[in-house]
Amino acid sequence: MKNFWRILSYARPLGPSAVKYALLTLLYVAFSLVNFTVLIPLLEVLFDQVNVPQAGAIPAPPDFSLTIDYFKSTFYYHFNAIIIEKGRLGALQFVCMVIVASVLLSNVFRYLSAMILVSLRVKVLRNMRNHIFQKVSELHLGYFTEQKKGDLISRMTVDIQEIQNSVTNSLKILFKEPVLVIGYFAILFSMSVKLTLLTILVLPFSGGIISIIAQRLKKRAVQSQESLGRILNMLDETLSGMRIVKAFNSERNIVDKFEKEVKVNERYSYSVLQKFEMAGPISEFLGVFAVAAILLVGGTMVLNQQGDMSASKFMGFLIIFTQVLTPAKAISTSITNINKGLAASVRIFEIIDTKPTITEAPNAQSVEQLKTSIEYKNVNFSYGQEQVLTGINLEIKKGEIVALVGPSGGGKSTMADLIPRFYEPTSGTIEINGVDIRQYKVKDLRALMGIVTQESILFNDTIKNNIAFGLVDIDDSRVIEAAKVANAHEFIINTPEGYETMIGERGTKLSGGQRQRLSIARAVLKDPDILILDEATSALDSESEKLVQEALINLMKDRTSLVIAHRLSTIQNADKIVVIEKGKIIQAGTHDELSTKTGLYKKLLKMQSF
Ligand code: ADP
């Protein structure tokens, strides 16, 4: 239930809507009740059970008071007056007019109150979507492992939709129907205490059965959502890795894997839907069971002429009682529904409540430039159990190019990821200008650096916006300047709409070399003091490679660079080469120094025939 209020809190401020809603709902309920209470006089007229009062025998119109009695006596006052004046036919017309008028009014109020819930519902959804997206964007990088991606997407789309469908939909029922039920029962009690008590006996029984079903449903719903997350994950993986799937002839494998998961999902969905469908029939059966019991007892009362139970009054009672069933049924359905939605909300609040592990120190200081150096001091790091970096000590002086080389999986990328605090060392520190980077504002720290990764990360937007990514109010001329430095201007102006060309999802409309030059242009435009560069290993044609190389050299000019190097040219330009193997620095020096010493570097040189 806590989550239910938490969902509602997304529609804050609730006060004004709640007051308006309560008022409109009360009016709606009042007018709906009128419809059924006038049924008894109607039946009396039809069954010829009214005693036509003598003229002059009608009591004076009642004095105004806010009680049911006042409205009842006012109605009967006019009702009697009309019978005297126009006879039974006139009374029939009068009752019909009252019914039409009150149905009209009750439906107008019903619409108005429903609209308040509609705006509440869309507001919850909007605020929730924004909140979860903002939270996700603040989470530390380590959170976004590949396995989590599909699950995250499913939570942010399907689960939110589920909340929209169930919890917010049920609001209507939970806040309106109980008022209706109470109103109906008030009338039933005023008609016959004995019969009404009998009906009440049946309700807890049916409520108990329904809540057992709801509990089971909730459990299955969670399992079903989790399985859906795995399916989405598989979809994402397969769609982006289709080339490999085909190259390895693994279509059958992935289809088998997919079908297996879909089957699991089918089982859970079946179970959820089965319980969902069960709730309706069961409550209906219990309802009719109650009607039969009442028919028996009430019918006996009429036949034996017990109390003041007349046939038309008993029929009125029955009609009103059947009206109780509809909202009661709606309430029980919506309880099962809410459980489905609450299961989804648990998954959403899990994300919202995840604390980012990379946080800013309370009195974090600003940093605007790299003045002296970047220094790793005794840095150790592990992703979970696995030790990835051990005892790293390295100084990168301002203006230097430092190249990291070594076998893949050695820890080079991880080392680079520690500088912008994508991950935090398990022990040891990294300092910039002699100050632990944890002392700096995260935003400032990251503003110091430009990052060009192997895989150029582009967004489905125009070329211009991709280059100016993350920067605001950038002059077109600066974008063009950056593209020129990155050797990208030529190809850009040859695209259909130049800088305004949309590049397609993840830049798929561009070649590998072009994508890289765009990422380089992005880094040039940001003009950072520190450059973190993960050179592409993917094969580019030699023309493209030359352009990319030139662009990189332009980019590194007058900056401090940490390069994960795969190419000879970068390595020869480097002021220092650091050889990393199994998370340790095993050699460091210039190319000339290292290439003459026996060691891993010499071996690598030979192997790659640099
Ligand atoms: P390199 O850049 O030298 O190829 P990495 O820094 O990418 O090496 O990887 C070092 C080790 O850390 C590898 O064993 C790799 O499997 C592991 N690793 C890399 N990223 C992650 C991650 N996000 N979660 C867990 N382990 C990781």
CA distance 193 to 367: 79
Task: Looking at the CA of residue 145, tell me the nearest atom of ligand 1.
Answer: 23
Does the pLDDT of residue 558 top 70, yes or no? Answer: yes
385 CB within 6 A, ligand 1: no
Q: How confident is the model at residue 610 (pLDDT cuts 50, 70, 90)?
A: very low
pLDDT (0 to 100) of residue 50: 62
Which residue's CA lies nearest to atom 19 of ligand 1?
Answer: 414
For residue 417, which atom of ligand 1 is closest to its CA? Answer: 6
**Of all protein residues, whose CA lies closest to atom 21 belonging to ligand 1?**
383
Question: In the prediction, which pLDDT does 294 show?
Answer: 81
Q: How far is the CA of 411 from the centre of ligand 1 (A)?
A: 6
Q: Is ligand 1 within 6 A of the CB of residue 391?
A: no
Q: Is the Cβ–Cβ distance between 228 and 301 less than 8 Å?
A: no
Nearest Cα residue to atom 12 of ligand 1: 388
The more confidently predicted of residues 92 and 564 is 564
Cα 439 to middle of ligand 1, angstroms: 26
Q: 29 alpha carbon to ligand 1 midpoint, in Å?
A: 64
- The number of the ligand 1 atom at minimal distance from the alpha carbon of 404 is 3
3-state secondary structure of 249: coil
By percentage, how much of the chain surpasses pLDDT 90? 21
β-strand partners of 430: 376
For residue 406, the ligand 1 atom closest to its alpha carbon is: 3
Is the pLDDT score of 189 beyond 80? yes
Per the DSSP assignment, residues forming a β-bridge with 395 are 375
Q: Which residues neighbour 429 within 8 Å (Cβ) at sequence distance 6 or greater?
A: 377, 378, 379, 436, 437, 438
Ligand 1 nearest-atom number relative to CA 407: 3
Element holding 393 (H helix, E strand): strand 386-397
Q: Which of 551, 561, 566 is nearest to 514 (CA)?
A: 551
Q: In this structure, what are the phi and psi dihedrals at residue 465, rounded to the nearest 5 degrees? A: -65, -30
Residue 111 CA: distances (Å) to CA of 116, 172, 175? 9, 11, 14
Q: Is 226 buried (19+), middle (13-18) or exposed (0-12) by CB count in 10 A? A: middle
CB of 388 within 6 A of ligand 1: the answer is: yes
> How far apart are alpha carbons 571 and 559 in whole angstroms?
16
Within its chain, how far is the Cα of 15 from the centroid?
25
If you take atom 26 of ligand 1, which residue's CA is the nearest one? 383
Return the amino acid letter for 96: C
Phi-psi domain of 373 (left: phi exceeds 0; alpha: psi -120 through 50; beta: other): beta
DSSP 3-state of 521: helix
- The answer to whether residue 248 scores a pLDDT higher than 80 is no
- Nearest-CA neighbor of 140 among 379, 360, 361? 360
Confidence of residue 529 (pLDDT cuts 50, 70, 90): very high
Closest residue CA from atom 24 of ligand 1? 383
Q: Is the pLDDT of residue 439 over 80?
A: yes
* Atom number in ligand 1 closest to CA 564: 2
Distance in Å, CA 418 to ligand 1 centroid: 12
Interstrand relation of 584-589 and 576-581 (parallel, antiparallel or unpaired): antiparallel
Task: Write out pLDDT tens, residues 447-467.
Answer: 899 888 877 777 778 899 889
pLDDT-derived band at 547, boundaries 50, 70, 90: confident
Ligand 1 touching residue 412 (CB < 6 A)? yes
Q: Classify strands 373-383 and 449-452 as parallel, antiparallel or unpaired.
A: unpaired
> Distance from the CA of 381 to the center of ligand 1, in angstroms?
11
- The full length of the chain comes to 610
Token pair listed for 398: 């301002």
Place of tokens 């967004």: 459
Residue 499 backbone phi and psi in degrees, to 5:
-65, -15
Q: How far is the CA of 584 from the centre of ligand 1 (A)?
A: 13
Q: 482: Cβ below 6 Å to ligand 1?
A: no
Q: Mean per-residue pLDDT for 390-417?
A: 92
Does residue 244 have a pLDDT over 70? yes
Helix/strand number for the chain, H first, E second: 21, 10
In the predicted structure, residue 507 carries a pLDDT above the cut 70? no
Check pLDDT > 60 for residue 478: yes
- The confidence score (pLDDT) of residue 66 equals 66
266's CB contacts (< 8 A; 6+ apart) are: none
With a 6 Å cutoff on the Cβ, whether 409 touches ligand 1 is yes
- Beta carbons of 47 and 17 less than 8 angstroms apart: no
Cα–Cα distance between 575 and 556 in angstroms, integer? Answer: 12
Pairwise CA distance, residues 413 & 392, whole Å = 14
Cα–Cα distance for residue pair 364/214, rounded to 1 Å: 50
User: In 3D, which of 146, 150, 155 has the Cα closest to residue 235?
Assistant: 150
CA 259 to ligand 1 center in whole angstroms: 31
pLDDT band (50, 70, 90) for residue 380: very high
- Mean pLDDT calculated for residue range 68-76: 74
What pLDDT is recorded for position 53? 57
564 and 529 Cβ atoms separated by less than 8 Å: no
> For 15-19, 329-333, 422-426, 598-602, which range has the lowest pLDDT when averaged over its residues?
329-333
At residue 434, the pLDDT reads: 93
- Residue 228 is predicted with a pLDDT of 86
Structure tokens at 580: 């990393």
What local confidence, expressed as pLDDT, does residue 585 receive?
Answer: 94
pTM comes to 0.68
Mutate to test the pocket of ligand 1, among 140, 379, 383 (most ligand atoms within 8 A of CB): 383
Q: What average pLDDT score do residues 346-374 get?
A: 89
**CA–CA gap between residue 62 and residue 69 (Å, rounded):** 9
Give the pLDDT of residue 375.
Answer: 95
Beta-bridged to residue 450, according to DSSP, are 531
Query: How many angstroms does the Cα of residue 409 sit away from the middle of ligand 1?
Result: 6
- With DSSP H G I counted as helix, E B as strand and the rest as coil, what are the percentages for the chain, rounded to 5? 65, 10, 25
Task: Using DSSP bridges, classify how beta strands 530-534 and 386-397 pair: parallel, antiparallel or unpaired.
Answer: unpaired
| Ligand 1 and 410: CB distance under 6 A | yes
